[in-house]
Structure 1
Amino acid sequence: MDDIPLQLTVLGSATPYPDVDNPCSGYLVSHGDTHVWVDAGTGTLGELQRHVRLDELDAIWISHLHADHSADLLTAYYGLLYADIELAAPVPLYGPPGIADRLAGFLTNGPARSPVESAFAVRELHDGHRVRVGGLELVSRAVEHGMPAFALRVEAGGAALVYSGDCAPCAGLDELAAGCDVLLCEADGPDGGQVHHTPRDAGQTAAKAGAGRLVLTHVGRFLTPDEAIKGAAARYAGPVAYAVPGAVFRVP
């Protein structure tokens, strides 16, 4: 399947709440008939259905449990169990420790715990977690975000896509991103602090990794995409793009 491209579709890239035309963080990673929903930020479930149905997903992968990366799991739960979908088996869900109980805590409205495991086959991530989903190899690394959080490397057909999730610059992301074709990296604002990349940080991480291309996402509301691109380009000489909702990137 080396001739089938690895493809990244941007479902949304806004933070910390959706814009009028831009949901929060969410992406569809595809390779042939294999589809993984990466982060389920507010509003991304609707956009996902432009491309695949919920029952056509091979897996869902969640970087961390902030709402702008995970809130649409709640409505996905109702869609999988109580609507027009006949679920053959629960959808594999890879996420931080405690994700099942967090979902159940919100969804439960009576004395009986909501059956989140009927919708999702939950697998908790750990540093170095590795799993094969169809033709995709998914590798997760723990990153620094002040809470359990992970970055993701997806490989298929000799191509590699790395997604930072939300995090400060850190060794885990540097190691995961080394030699990748595309780095999808957050660029939250002018002052990243201890939990986020700035655009210049994103450029530095891409340069350190030797990434073939940098795509900026999760750009904070105090910056325009053009300002973020300019900041990243100050540290990274390769091509830089913004994760416009609906954009499709072929890797490499």
Structure 2
Amino acid sequence: MKQDALRSLLEEVAGGRKSVDSAVHALNKDNFADLGFAKVDLSRKRRNGYPEVIYGEGKTAQQIIGIIDAMREQTVNILCTRLSPEKFAAIQKEEPDAVYYQQARCAIVNRAVVPKTESYIAIVTAGTSDIPVAEEAAVTAEAYGNRIARVYDVGVAGIHRLFAKIDVIRRAKVVIVIAGMEGALASVVGGLIDKPLIAVPTRIGYGAHLHGITALLAMLNSCASGVTVVNIDNGFGAAYSASMINHL
């Protein structure tokens, strides 16, 4: 609720013009900011535990700025995903506190320090080419108060690299595995750990890889139990779910 509206509500309660029960109802009511081009969900954090996230592709810089301004008063660590450097440069002129994470193609605005979990999320990639998706996951997870451990470039083509880091992966409360090509790493890691695993297929590969569909189907058909799969290149979605698990 905006500060002016909150003040008015409290004054009505104090003056006896509104009951406490009706004020509680007003405070708990789902609300949004209607910007014309967007209806910004201002009560999502209360409902879901996390605020609305701005998906940058398909939106203009000015539209993103409008959404940020609608959220800023009540939301810290406003996360914007899938932002090009050019679009971010335009946004930063109006939102000078915005910070850009180039590999992740994400920005965080109205940053604040949030308490970090004692447990952590392990983010594991098969190859170096998968790191941009992994960094989207890492930025998302850290924005929501998670400790993370990066374990990059440990794919099955050199599986000894994975075994050298297996203790780090096993100590995590939840593991995100990101892989392109044939997507085998998710099954391998899933057979070695006793924690939830979220698999992210990427569009890294050749020919019959089909822009990530081959890895997606391989992960969906994994014989390792406890593997959940998100959409192709969806580092954000994996980190969001992993954060919910890590905070349980």
Same topology, TM > 0.5: no
Highest CA radius of gyration, 1 or 2? 2
Ranked by relative contact order (alpha carbons within 8 Å, sequence separation 6 or more), the top structure is: 1
Larger proportion of strand: 1
TM range (shorter): 0.3 to 0.5
TM-score normalised by length of structure 1: 0.39
TM-score normalised by length of structure 2: 0.40
Larger proportion of helix: 2
